[in-house]
Amino acid sequence: MTTKNEALRVLQVVEPGVDGVFRHVEGLIHFLSQKRIPVDLAYSSIRGSQALHELTRFVETRGGESFDMKLDRSPCFRDIPTLISLQRMIVRCRPTVIHGHSSKAGALVRILRASGAVPPVVYTPNAYFGMGGNETPMTRFFTFIERCLGRFGTTINISPDEAAFARDRIGLSERQSRVIHNPVNPERFTPPTPEEKRVARTRLGLPLDSLLIGSVGRLSPQKNPLMLTSAFALEARRKAGISLVHLGGGPLADEVRLLRKSLDIDQLVFCPEYMEDPRLFYHAVDALVMSSDYEAGWPIVILEALCCQLPIITTTAPGMSEIGKSGLSHCWTAAPNDIASLADALHAWRDSLDHESKPSNHRDYVFSHFTPEICYGRVLDCYRELVQKEAKGEG
């Protein structure tokens, strides 16, 4: 394998400049920079953030080029001139490998690879659109696109579930894909002291004496916030003293708000303003719950919560089926899209608080499986392997 870092130059291409996908790219760029590997960045400011602005400055101050593609998340005719501009950037920067993240950026870089005009391409889907299991014209369309583009690059799936979907529904061979989990930095996310918990709740305007269950994510069909709202209402009626804290907005915000009113739980739900650094949120809550219908793999928010030694309540949806079987000491699971099952899981967690608790192994598990050195290191190995094959004419 190539060992000279100067033989590598990596172009990262990403559409969302916020939330989990962006945070993965942000961490990967910092990791590569620590390894003294030159990095360029093509991004979109349409779904941007202050952290994205800071990342572009970080890339530029280290000699890389940044390019705002101004991409929407849905396919449109404006993608054609963007594709041309992206190819021009590639000619200028001369990367040895290109990494596209999520479907929009992944499609663009693989189209260019199909033209034979760019170096090896890596694609991280971050959850295929069809993993939710709903057969609609839209899911069939996106699955068809993935089948067409799948052979033009190497796919990094972030869970065995996602890899199985890629194999069974998209037709990727083992040679075309590999499984590399997302990482988290356990030095950045740490368990709070009692004083830090009190300060976090005070700063976020949360009750000091209530049991707080936390939720992070877009209010979108994939995350199924309506199910979470209904399950929380069931548990709140069954046993008082619990509140829900949700971080994030999205297209279902109005529906969720109306459902809370109809269930008469408005006074028990808190929605702090979006924060790019969620550490204060994790310090404030007592557990993390996820109600997703599907994910690509272990969500970053779950990994961050594990670093903070938080209990986890999650569905066993595609992409997350490993979590409940992993040996975590404080983890409760529910069936996907099952309100009663999630309410029961919440109740089981609360019931466990009345008994002597065993020590949490969550941070130890992160150090064993999900550190940047482990996960991003495997991505770097993938880059080097592809560059070596390309040099030998095997790409």
d(CA 133, CA 222): 11
CB atoms within 10 A of CB 355: 7
In this predicted structure, what is the pLDDT of residue 2?
A: 41
- For residue 3, name the pLDDT band (cuts at 50, 70, 90): very low
CB atoms within 10 A of CB 100: 28
Predicted confidence (pLDDT) at residue 17 exceeds the cutoff of 90: no
* pTM of the shown model: 0.88
d(CA 322, CA 315): 11
In this predicted structure, what is the pLDDT of residue 274?
A: 75
Helix (H, G, I), strand (E, B) or coil at 371: coil
**Residues 153/120, Cβ–Cβ less than 8 Å:** yes
In this predicted structure, what is the pLDDT of residue 138?
A: 85
Helix (H, G, I), strand (E, B) or coil at 347: helix
In this predicted structure, what is the pLDDT of residue 395?
A: 63
In CATH, the architecture of 194-369 is 3-Layer(aba) Sandwich (3.40)
Tell me the per-residue pLDDT of 134-154, one tens digit each, with 9 for 90 and over.
778 888 888 999 999 999 999
Residue 66 backbone dihedrals phi, psi, to 5 degrees? -120, 150
**Residues in CB range of 323: below 8 A, 6 or more apart:** 298, 302, 312, 314, 316, 331, 333
In this predicted structure, what is the pLDDT of residue 71?
A: 87
CB atoms within 10 A of CB 240: 9
Average pLDDT, rounded, for the chain = 93
Tell me the per-residue pLDDT of 342-374, one tens digit each, with 9 for 90 and over.
999 999 999 999 886 789 999 999 999 999 999
The rounded percent of the chain whose pLDDT value lies above 90 is 83
- The predicted model gives 53-77 an average pLDDT of 92
Predicted confidence (pLDDT) at residue 6 exceeds the cutoff of 60: no
Helix (H) or strand (E) holding 104: helix 102-114
In this predicted structure, what is the pLDDT of residue 136?
A: 84
In this predicted structure, what is the pLDDT of residue 76?
A: 76
Q: 67 vs 6, 64, 104, 148, CA distance in Å?
A: 22, 10, 16, 27
In this predicted structure, what is the pLDDT of residue 134?
A: 75
- The predicted model gives 10-23 an average pLDDT of 91
Give domain 5-183+371-391's CATH number out of 3.90.1150.10, 3.40.50.2000, 3.30.530.20, 3.10.50.40. 3.40.50.2000
Strands 242-247 and 211-216, bridge-based pairing: parallel
- The predicted model gives 92-119 an average pLDDT of 94
Tell me the per-residue pLDDT of 282-295, one tens digit each, with 9 for 90 and over.
999 999 999 999 99
Cα atoms in the Cβ-side hemisphere of radius 13 Å centred on 368: 9
Tell me the per-residue pLDDT of 36-49, one tens digit each, with 9 for 90 and over.
999 999 999 998 88
Domain edges within the chain: 5-183+371-391, 194-369
Strands (E) across 86-129 are located at 97-101, 121-124
- The predicted model gives 245-266 an average pLDDT of 96
